[in-house]
Amino acid sequence: MDLSVIIGILGAITTISIGDLMEGGNPLHIIHITSLIIIMPTTLLASMVSTDSEYIRGAYKNLPFVFKKNSVDLHARIKQIVDLAVSARRDGLLSLESKIAVLDNDFMKQGMSLAVDGNEIDTIVETMELVIEQTEEYYHGCAHYWILAGETSPVLGLVGAVLGLILALQKLDNPSEMAAGIAGAFTATVTGIFSAYVLFGPIGNKMKAKSHHLVKEQKLILEGIISIAHGDNPRTLEAKLLNFLSPGEEKHSQFD
């Protein structure tokens, strides 16, 4: 579970509620069923209009991806690639055939199979770079659906507020009911803004950010496959792959 997502959403709800309570309000009054129905489903439906069907399906299918802990472990991946490089240098490239079958990464399995089958380096690079491009485009398309929903939600909050005010103004002969209607109308604005900046927008940006880890891993793997196919020294290969780690990560060599 990605605690940054859970803590972020729950923390935002908590701080808004505390602030409302300190001003003598009641956070439960912000929860207005009519506003939720008008804004949230409408926002998601409206965002579908300008999003390709493939990305709409992917946006919902990959929603758990946002809440799960990042599964990419570049340290482990580097060690795995270097181990393959050591075997290839010792026993030859063809000796990796049995190890490829049990690899846990489809991208790596495909690239290593191309190398072991004797394909030219250029062919391997062209093929695998296409996979990387498609991976990046897919996740960015899925993320864009949620980002678009975040951009749409505040406007629909205003629509909900205007609708509520229209109904409230029809009750001029009953001030108490009119006041309740106006209060209900403004909950639509709150719902729209909250959905945009605490839910939909952050979910989309988090999905895009996490996809960058997948793409970085694929680029690292491709660099490793090219070096193995070239027959590069495993130490040299490891030094090259360690550069894929972010500045905040420690770089440890397995040869030390």
DSSP 244: G
Amino acid at site 173: D
Kindly state whether residue 45 falls inside one of the protein's structural domains. no
> Is the CB of residue 227 less than 8 Å from the CB of residue 244?
no
Residue numbers of the domain that contains 242: 34-39+72-247
Kindly state whether residue 8 falls inside one of the protein's structural domains. no
Kindly state whether residue 130 falls inside one of the protein's structural domains. yes
Kindly state whether residue 151 falls inside one of the protein's structural domains. yes
Kindly state whether residue 124 falls inside one of the protein's structural domains. yes
The tens place of each residue's pLDDT in the chain, 256 residues long, gives: 888 999 999 999 899 889 888 878 777 777 878 888 889 999 999 999 999 999 999 999 999 999 998 889 999 999 999 999 999 888 888 888 888 988 989 999 999 999 998 899 999 999 999 999 999 999 999 999 999 999 999 999 999 888 888 888 888 788 888 887 788 788 889 999 999 999 999 999 999 999 999 999 999 999 999 999 988 899 999 999 999 998 888 888 887 6
Q: Residue 52 region, left (φ>0) first, then alpha (ψ -120 to 50), else beta?
A: beta
Kindly state whether residue 222 falls inside one of the protein's structural domains. yes
Rounded to whole angstroms, what are the CA distances from 55 to 134, 144, 149, 216? Answer: 12, 8, 13, 21
Kindly state whether residue 46 falls inside one of the protein's structural domains. no
Overall domain count for the chain: 1
Kindly state whether residue 139 falls inside one of the protein's structural domains. yes
